[in-house]
Amino acid sequence: MNLNSTRIKAVPLVLALLLSVAYLTSEASSDQPNVVIIYGDDVGYGDVGAYGSKQIPTPHIDALAAGGLQFTDGHCSAATCSPSRFSMLTGIHAFRADLRILAPNAPLAIPVDTYTLADLFKDAGYQTAVIGKWHLGLGSKESPANWNGEVKPGPLEIGFDYSFLLPSTNDRVPCVYLEDYNVVNYDPSDPIYVGFSPKQVNRPGSTEYPDGKTNREAMTYYQSSHGHNHSVINGIGRIGYMSGGKAALWDDETMADVFVDKAREYITSRKDEPFFLFFSSQDIHVPRAPHPRFQGKTELGYRGDAMVQFDWSVGQIIDSLKTNGLLENTLVIFSSDNGPTYDDGYVDGTSAKTSTVNNDRDHYAAGPYRGGKYKIYEGGTRIPLIISWPSKISAGTTDTLVNQIDFLHSFATLLELDLPDGAGVDSRNTLDAFLGRSEQGLPFMIEEAANALALRKGNWKYIEFHASKYKPTPGPPELYDLSEDIAEANNVIKDHPEIAESLKVQLHTLQHSAAIPNKTVTDRLEEDLIH
């Protein structure tokens, strides 16, 4: 036997088998894309060039929109950050957990036995990470966050394999980064304490910081307009008090760089295995302190400049995906946690004070919509939403009604996984809408704000207010026809009492429904509410 001849004949067969395996692997991987959620903070519908902004250049986000699917009726579930993030990760409306904006040192808002989006991807064999702003609490009621030891429970207990966090928000203490369980650059000789008064936190051996209430001149970066005047760190007043941790303090102006560097490192380190990355930017939340290289890039002060910085962050992440050969098979979602806000506690150069005016030197951050952050109107939850998956999604624009709360059920469908009983009770499978395969969006949707709930059903929107600490006496309900009045300027409830009553009943039914095994709240009510 001629062994050389045998080898030569065998080569084509082996090569064919290898190519077949490679093809099958490629086909399989195309159905298991990497997933990156790029989440802005307080970014309004009109803050992005692709959505009409003329004064803030956002070339990287615009390019993502041009190559992906741009939604004009995409929503977060709530008009404030903690509730919106809670719902996006759990598929559960925040009002069911009585969740509001979390205070400094708040415990983890997502119970550790709650099934999350990160759990779903882990079950599918993904590596999972969150980098950036958290604001969903850390520690527990029984064991508050110990900033001088391991800070847990947190993201690692609810499905994430890795976390690099701004623990709360950049306007709240503690002003340190947290990597997995530990404070970055922690110095045990300068222990960290967090509380609600100087008396609680100022202890012997820990660095003390000025109290903005009694020492306003310490706020040198810019002054507080309301609140935001407790511990002064880096010349900026914060919500809440802290002591210690001087070596671990973040630098506000380099925060975007730090998060981008961590995201790029993570993408490169995980390029050979599927991953889910939740990149949660601090931009453009207050205090807006963009890096000096971005300051002055717009005529809108630090708010506009911070948006330019956020656009750069988006470009850096996309570039990292390209550099590592991952872009074609990565599903990228760009969005925001709620609508815009202007003066939100700092004198930082915005000419508008509230989203009620929604006009900062002819820049309309909510686009044509009414309201913004905190508000139940469309500007509070209708946000930029762009989904890109070059190998699967055709570029275009769609008016389909979709909501971030449906990510959980939709990704479960994409990954061909069944959700556990009782998981994501408010999440619906809208995968085909998210991927541009169908123009059939949500038949109805709840919107949530601090003092109100609303039901969207087609172009009708019914709003019901409830008491809050800022407004103990709620106002009367409202009804809007968005087909004729996208600015929600004309309350037509007196003209259509029967429609208002019908939507009221449906909203109350949804609001007070409890989950049952194997069915979500919306599954059980969908048939009734469609008709």
The Cα–Cα gap between 272 and 349 comes to 45
| Helix spans in 36-105 (H) | 59-67, 81-90
What digits encode the pLDDT tens for the residues 215-263? 999 999 999 999 999 999 999 999 999 999 999 999 999 999 999 999 9
What digits encode the pLDDT tens for the residues 465-523? 998 777 788 899 999 999 999 999 999 999 999 999 999 999 999 998 854 333 344 44
Is residue 343 a contact partner of residue 286, using CB atoms and an 8 Å limit? no
The Cα–Cα gap between 459 and 456 comes to 7
pLDDT for 1 equals 35
3-state secondary structure 67-82: HCEEECCEECCECCHH
Helix or strand or coil: residue 362? coil
pLDDT for 514 equals 55
Helix or strand or coil: residue 211? strand
| Chain Cα centroid distance, residue 104 | 18
Q: Which of 59-63, 96-100, 328-332 has the lowest mean pLDDT?
A: 96-100
Burial class (CB in 10 A: 0-12, 13-18, 19+), 114: buried
Is residue 303 a contact partner of residue 348, using CB atoms and an 8 Å limit? yes
- What secondary structure letter does DSSP report for 324? T
Burial class (CB in 10 A: 0-12, 13-18, 19+), 257: middle
Among 252, 251, 257, 384, smallest CA distance to 312 is for: 257
The Cα–Cα gap between 512 and 39 comes to 30
What digits encode the pLDDT tens for the residues 392-445? 999 999 999 999 999 999 999 999 999 999 999 999 999 999 999 999 999 999
Structure tokens given for 295: 């300051």
What digits encode the pLDDT tens for the residues 119-157? 999 999 999 999 999 999 999 999 999 999 999 999 999
The Cα–Cα gap between 264 and 318 comes to 9
Domains and CATH numbers, the chain: 30-434 (3.40.720.10), 451-530 (3.30.1120.10)
Structure tokens given for 275: 């991953």
Is residue 177 a contact partner of residue 233, using CB atoms and an 8 Å limit? no
